[in-house]
Amino acid sequence: MDSIAGKKPGLTWAVNLSVLAMVLLWIFPTLGLFVSSFRTGDQIVASGWWKALFPAEQIVQLRVADPDENRVERDGVFRVEGNFFLTGELTGEIQAFGVSSRDLGAHAPGEAADMGDGESLAVNADGSYVWSGSDDQISGRGQRVFVTATVPPDFSLDNYDTVLGEGVVQDLISWLVGAALVGIAGFLALRALLPAHGPVLAVGAALLYGAFALIAALRAGLVGTTPFVATGLVVVIAGAAYVLVRRAMPEAARTMAWVLGITAFAVFVTDFGVGTGVGAATASEDMAKAFMNTLTVVIPATVIPILVAAFAAYALAWMDFPGRALLIAAVVGLLVVPLQLALIPLLKLHNEVGIGKGYVGTWLAHTGFGMPLAIYLLRNYMVGLPRDIIENAKVDGATDFQIFVRIILPLSFPALASFAIFQFLWTWNDLLVALVFLIDSSGQTTVMTKQIVEILGTRGGDWEILATSAFVSIAVPLIVFFSMQRYLVRGLLAGSVK
Amino acid sequence: MNPALQGLTFIIIGVGGCIGYFYFSNVVLDKVIFPARGPKAGRNINRANMIRPWLFLFPALLALGLYLAYPVFETLRLSLTERLPGGQSRWVGLANYQQMLGEPKFMEALRNNMMWLIVVPALSTAFGLLAAQLTDRIRWGNVAKSIVFMPMAISFVGAAVIFKLVYDARPINAEQIGILNAIYLSLGGEAPINWLTVPFWNNFFLMAVLVWIQTGFAMVILSAALRGIPEETVEAAIVDGANPFQIFFKIKVPQIMGTIVVVWTTITIVVLKVFDIVYAMTNGQWETQVLANYMYDKLFRANDWGVGSASAMVIMLLVTPILVWNVYNARKEMR
């Protein structure tokens, strides 16, 4: 398109500028929340977050040290010396100072302000000051000084400590870096060695991965309390990793690093939840608990529907039976049925069956609500797979079950990934299903979205808590979004346009 | 039991159960019920193959039927009955609908929903189309796309907090921390406005949140559609002396009309279900009620299942044309 006729440089400029305007408009709201989460409550209400990015000019009223305790006499002249920076009263860079409220910036740093009758006050750029004069003048209270200083942007992780717990963000960062390093190393090793050594190395990688998970589980304290669970966890994860690598080589090897990182992250969070989840309910623990609960809702609610839907999608795509067209039409129809309709009937059903409110009901509900999209996406993708492969396999005597597990499932990896992302985002961000099917009066089963709504209602003015909590809850989807955007886009296109 | 361990157990049982079900049901079908040997081997294989699709479909159909199809009919039934103390219910015909239509809050929700239905899909699609067209023509277009697309990952509740900060209002002599009021005052506004409490117009401030989220979705799909346009048609128009605006509106847009409709209807469905934004930002106060939040109010605050179900049926009724249209298109494509 670049070389076509009829293209004017002016227009290119206009295009660039309008895109820039749009991008800024779209990123500004989120940026505000992000910046605010690093500021203290006082800073947030004192100035707009957009001003926090730049050095701000501040006028501070200070007093020099108490003369009765600090003055020193030399040749009949009394002096009080000190340093505003050292006492912590002032930060930044001193631009000007003044001794009268009528002229705040009268003097440049280093100058001496003459206050009449030989009394003078000098403030230097390094924060030190000298106040000198006669016995009468240097007495009473310390002299007032107005200092104009440029304060550099000031950000801290304090809010995250309050919301998540002391030191959690630092731990998180070191864990993520560690997991990423292991993941990248593993990925590079896999890529270099796999084509040549195949299964042997895959088993090795799986064992390594298992060992990693074991260490993580040990750290989480799972082993001490329930060794069987930890062992099971390691076996399952190692087995899954092995299957992934063997079945769907290229795509799986690439995602292996991600799985590694995310698992480490999950185990870390478990660690945190197990370690501190009990005890007095403070703001921080509520949010940490909500984080844990959200993870607990999301992971099974993402994994189960994929498996169920994949089989159904295969049947709808590649098996011939009466009523197939009708079923596909039904799935397309159910795609748009609002889940609001399902709330009361299903709540009644859950109560009658005995599940009541709780995780099991929530998982089942998410599975049901995600099913039409899952079947629709996967079927659309599977229909596009080459017919020859499937027919060849049939001729070679493969059963439908074998064809599905050995051929269709590995080939459908991109579609599986895109649905997994959709379902993950949807369940993580969900409020309504959690409100109806999960959250009971005990307060133990709250999720992040509910927690944020709660803070909005009760502590709406505490922007530092609100902004940080909200940012914690949107950080995970954002990470998933930016790392898996390719699959997300592919899934969107498969789901909407044909 | 610790919820995390419970979750892990559920994954293992769920995944193991699914795999076990699919594997063993196939084994049972092939080896026990219709074994592929003996005198009737041929007939048995055919019979097994007739039954197998239903084995594959059964769990999914169960989930679909129980969690989506059954509730539609149950809600319809509930909307025509009244709950009596002691778990009984009584047939009341259309009384719930009559009561609902008489409530000013419902009419307000209906009116607001109609505005949402017009404004949000229109603006999202328009912005999405604009973004798709513009970003395709510049070098850093992919970065720009990522950023416009990003709100898709943010929860409605998260977006509500984000925009609460944007709309925040402080007293007139204090420093404004909401960027909208800061801009408004710097442009010569007299006093900061509490945007979410201004009746009627506050609806648009809520809609802006959803437009902000949905534009990325529209952009991604429309951008793919734009790239699918045959290059020759554009080149022919250039040769004929069309200017860029004519190319866009008279050549490109007509060719992607089908996709625009799909995007429009998809966003329409999202709008009909919109609940979290209103629930978190105003909870329907200051005349911002919408149907989904009205329904939640009736069901879980007023505990009135009859009227709540009736309003759910209204949402269903509004979705139905899209449902029919989608099914019709899907059938057309399959032929």
Q: Residue A483 is part of a domain; what is its CATH number?
A: 1.10.3720.10
Count of A-B CB contacts under 8 Å: 361
Is B335 or B277 the better-scoring residue by pLDDT?
B277
Specify whether A120 is located in the same domain as A268: no
Residue A239 lies inside a defined structural domain of this protein: yes
Residue A359 lies inside a defined structural domain of this protein: yes
Would you say residue A237 has pLDDT above 60? no
| A147 bridge partner residues | A60, A97
What pLDDT does A188 receive? 58
Specify whether A316 is located in the same domain as A344: yes
- From A99, A127, A151, the end of a domain falls on A151
The rounded distance, in Å, linking the Cα atoms of B176 and B165 is 11
Among B51, B154, B164, B211, most A C-beta atoms within 10 A, so best to mutate, is B154
Nearest CA in chain A to B291: A340
Selecting from B3, B54, B147 the residue whose C-beta is nearest the C-beta of A293 gives B3
Which residues of chain B lie closer than 8 angstroms to A342, CB-CB? 67-68, 71, 75
> pLDDT band for position A232 (50/70/90)?
very low
Which ipTM value was assigned to this complex?
Answer: 0.84
Would you say residue A284 has pLDDT above 60? no
Specify whether A134 is located in the same domain as A213: no
- Which pair of tokens denotes residue A245? 């690598």
Specify whether A184 is located in the same domain as A297: no
Would you say residue A277 has pLDDT above 70? no
Which residues of chain B lie closer than 8 angstroms to A345, CB-CB? 70-71, 74-75, 78
- Which pair of tokens denotes residue B288? 């911002």
Nearest CA in chain A to B272: A338
Per-residue pLDDT averaged across B184-204, rounded? 80
Nearest CA in chain A to B78: A345
Specify whether A221 is located in the same domain as A341: no
Specify whether A259 is located in the same domain as A375: no
Among A276, A311, A394, A446, most B C-beta atoms within 10 A, so best to mutate, is A311
Which residues of chain B lie closer than 8 angstroms to A343, CB-CB? 71, 299, 312
Specify whether A478 is located in the same domain as A384: yes
Please state the length of chain B.
Answer: 335
Interchain pair A344, B308: CB under 8 A: yes
Contact A402, B101 (CB under 8 A): no
Residue A458 lies inside a defined structural domain of this protein: yes
> pLDDT band for position B123 (50/70/90)?
very high
Interchain pair A308, B60: CB under 8 A: yes
Specify whether A147 is located in the same domain as A171: no
Specify whether A364 is located in the same domain as A272: no
Contact B202, B111 (CB under 8 A): no
Residue A174 lies inside a defined structural domain of this protein: yes
Burial class (CB in 10 A: 0-12, 13-18, 19+), A479: middle
Interchain pair B5, A226: CB under 8 A: yes
The rounded distance, in Å, linking the Cα atoms of B229 and A16 is 23
Count other C-beta atoms under 10 Å from residue B298's C-beta: 24
Please report, for chain B, the start and end positions of each structural domain, with discontinuous segments joined by +.
Answer: 3-63, 97-157+198-334
- From A151, A182, A197, the end of a domain falls on A151
**What digits encode the pLDDT tens for the residues B218-248?**
888 888 888 888 888 888 888 888 888 888 8
Which residues of chain A lie closer than 8 angstroms to B322, CB-CB? 336
The rounded distance, in Å, linking the Cα atoms of A462 and A226 is 40
Residue A484 lies inside a defined structural domain of this protein: yes
Burial class (CB in 10 A: 0-12, 13-18, 19+), A161: middle
Q: What is the domain range of residue A368?
A: 292-498
Fold of the domain spanning B97-157+198-334: MetI-like fold (1.10.3720)
Nearest CA in chain B to A422: B153
Question: What is the per-residue burial (b if ≥16 Cβ within 10 Å, else e) of B102-131?
Answer: eeeebebbbebbeebeebbbebbbebbbbb
Specify whether A298 is located in the same domain as A210: no
Stretch among A215-229, B206-220, B295-309 having the lowest mean pLDDT: A215-229
Specify whether A341 is located in the same domain as A267: no
Q: Across all residues in chain A, what is the average pLDDT?
A: 73
Would you say residue A150 has pLDDT above 80? no
- From A234, A252, A276, the end of a domain falls on A276
Is A249 or B195 the better-scoring residue by pLDDT?
B195
Count other C-beta atoms under 10 Å from residue A115's C-beta: 15
Instruction: Give the angle subtended at the CA of B214 by the CAs of B317 and B104, to the nearest 5°.
Output: 40
**What digits encode the pLDDT tens for the residues B143-192?**
888 888 888 888 888 888 888 888 887 777 777 778 888 888 888 777 77
Q: How many domains does chain A have?
A: 4
Interchain pair B220, A363: CB under 8 A: no
Stretch among A192-206, B208-222, B227-241 having the lowest mean pLDDT: A192-206
The rounded distance, in Å, linking the Cα atoms of B96 and B99 is 5
Which residues of chain B lie closer than 8 angstroms to A18, CB-CB? 130, 134
